[in-house]
């Protein structure tokens, strides 16, 4: 076993929206190879690590990543040559140093993350470890845990041509005793939602993460359809299945900071948004709300947290962008009580692992998440299990780019039989 890096090589591949992304291979002297590709968001937060795109309008509408690929094959490959892949922290620090900018905008966070993740895979292969085991070692957690999933059922926002104002309505299995049981429960809800849409003459075409895009006129109408779908599946809303919402409110914000609900024909200020969400929580079994307000609306976020934080999980995605300083501010100011964790918002594997630890120490929940533009890479499943993050959000139970991650969870469960986090992980779960 010689875990020194022999070579690093990247290429441009396509993601689930048919857009270019970076895939990297890290080869060790002992012949083991780790491969990883990076996803891409549609409703990206402005503080995210920088996704380097070529901006050549003649090629993939300006979305090519050939410069990021060249950065891996050139500068990064040279810097990593003969480095020990087991020294993941040093490698991640070296990549950050080499880039030299706060948001990895010179080399590209897509270039840096692909190499960071591929390094972990190569090290795991060399030591005959499963990836989640390698991640667990880096995270220093007691042991792996199977995460509670929140699963996309209905979509709007930037994931479905703005067919609804809020971006995603998700189902959380509340009674399942294992990940396999959880997946089965949600598969029933997803199928019932399709039948429900069909009966109502609503579209059954897929949104970006494999959910439905019924184009309903309001959040309440979408919540009604969630209730109906859960019941239609023979399950009890609030007991067997809870509801989560990703408002993705940053993408609703106008230049004056207010929130435009285009489908409802209303413009709300922060407090009116809070009122609307309080109404949802009062009338529906909503257990989690993500990005209920915009990424820089810290004052309103504080009020939202004191109003609803005792009753539901309030998750910061664009708000925190998996960034330790933004999370530290949230902790200091009692904003939100949960964090969405996206490795490509952060830029490196150990940076992402450390962010999870920072949140956990403060008592915030952590939800490891995929992006709306994904590849067949299932790294996110191992990341959630290995760090014992507790929750995972990886899209609906349709299309290979999302289903592959659920399948990886099922395989990991079979291999290690780690305890299933279950619904107890949710802070302040609301019961009806
Ligand atoms: P994104 O969406 O990947 O398009 O940012 C996912 C989310 O908002 O959680
Ligand atoms: Zn989100």
Distance of CA 220 to the CA centre of its chain: 24
Contact 166, 156 (CB under 8 A): yes
Neighbours of ion ligand 2 (CB under 5 A): 246, 317
- Enumerate the CATH 3.30.390.10 domain ranges in the chain, comma separated: 5-128
Backbone angles phi, psi at 216, to 5 degrees: -70, 155
Mean pLDDT (the chain, rounded)? 96
Taking 80 as the threshold, does the pLDDT of residue 432 lie above it? no
Question: Taken in order 147, 149, 150, 152, is the CA torsion positive or negative?
Answer: positive
pLDDT in tens, 131-166: 999 999 999 999 999 999 999 999 999 888 888 999
pLDDT in tens, 337-370: 999 999 999 999 999 999 999 999 999 999 999 9
Ligand 1 centre and the CA of 371: distance in Å? 5
Query: Does ligand 1 come within 6 angstroms of the Cβ of 248?
Result: yes
Catalytic residues: 209, 342
- Architecture label for domain 148-427: Alpha-Beta Barrel (3.20)
* Atom nearest to 39 CA in ligand 1: 3
Contact 395, 374 (CB under 8 A): yes
Ligand 1 centre and the CA of 373: distance in Å? 8
Which run of H or of E encompasses 349?
helix 349-361
- Enumerate the CATH 3.20.20.120 domain ranges in the chain, comma separated: 148-427
- Rounded Cα distance, 69 and 146, in Å: 34
Query: What is the CATH number assigned to the segment(s) 5-128?
Result: 3.30.390.10
- Rounded Cα distance, 292 and 271, in Å: 11
Share of the chain above pLDDT 90, in %: 96
Closest CA to 24 of 74, 59, 89: 74
* Atom nearest to 41 CA in ligand 1: 3
pLDDT in tens, 273-318: 999 999 999 999 999 999 999 999 999 999 999 999 999 999 999 9
């Amino acid at each position: 076993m010689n875990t020194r890096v022999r070579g690093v090589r990247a290429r441009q591949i396509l993601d689930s929206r048919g857009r270019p992304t970076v895939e990297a291979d890290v080869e060790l002297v002992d012949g083991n190879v780790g491969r990883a590709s990076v996803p891409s968001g549609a409703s990206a937060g402005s503080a995210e690590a920088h996704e380097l795109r070529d901006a050549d309008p003649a090629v993939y509408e300006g979305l090519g990543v050939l410069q990021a690929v060249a950065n891996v094959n050139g500068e990064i490959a040279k810097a990593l040559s003969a480095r020990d892949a087991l020294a993941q922290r040093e490698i991640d620090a070296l990549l950050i140093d080499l880039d030299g900018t706060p948001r990895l905008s010179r080399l590209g966070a897509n270039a840096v993350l692909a190499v960071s993740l591929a390094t972990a895979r190569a090290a795991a292969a060399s030591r005959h470890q499963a990836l989640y085991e390698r991640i667990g070692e880096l995270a220093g957690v007691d042991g792996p845990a199977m995460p509670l999933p929140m699963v996309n059922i209905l979509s709007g926002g930037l994931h479905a041509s703005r067919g609804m104002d809020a971006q995603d309505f998700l189902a959380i299995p509340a009674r399942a005793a294992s990940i396999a049981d959880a997946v089965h429960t949600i598969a029933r809800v997803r199928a019932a939602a399709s039948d429900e849409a069909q009966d109502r003459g609503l579209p059954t075409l897929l949104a970006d993460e494999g959910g439905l895009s019924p184009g309903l006129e309001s959040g309440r109408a979408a919540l009604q359809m969630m209730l109906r779908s859960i019941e239609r599946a023979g399950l009890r809303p609030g007991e067997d299945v809870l509801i989560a919402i990703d408002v993705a409110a940053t993408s609703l914000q106008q230049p004056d900071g207010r929130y435009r609900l285009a489908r409802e024909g209303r413009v709300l200020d922060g407090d009116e948004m809070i009122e609307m969400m309080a109404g949802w929580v009062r009338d529906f079994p909503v257990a989690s709300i993500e990005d209920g307000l915009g990424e820089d609306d810290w004052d309103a976020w504080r009020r939202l947290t004191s109003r609803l934080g005792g009753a539901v999980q309030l998750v910061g995605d664009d708000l925190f962008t998996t960034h330790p300083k933004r999370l530290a501010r949230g902790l200091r100011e009692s904003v939100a009580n949960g964090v969405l964790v996206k490795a490509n918002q952060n830029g490196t594997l150990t940076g992402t692992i450390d962010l999870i630890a920072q949140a956990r120490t403060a008592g915030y929940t952590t939800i490891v998440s995929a992006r709306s533009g994904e590849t067949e890479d299932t790294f996110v499943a191992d990341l959630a299990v290995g760090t014992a993050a507790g929750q995972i959000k990886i899209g609906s139970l349709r299309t290979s780019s999302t289903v592959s991650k659920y399948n990886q969870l099922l395989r990991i469960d079979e291999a290690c039989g780690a305890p299933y986090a279950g619904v107890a992980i949710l802070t302040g779960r609301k019961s009806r």
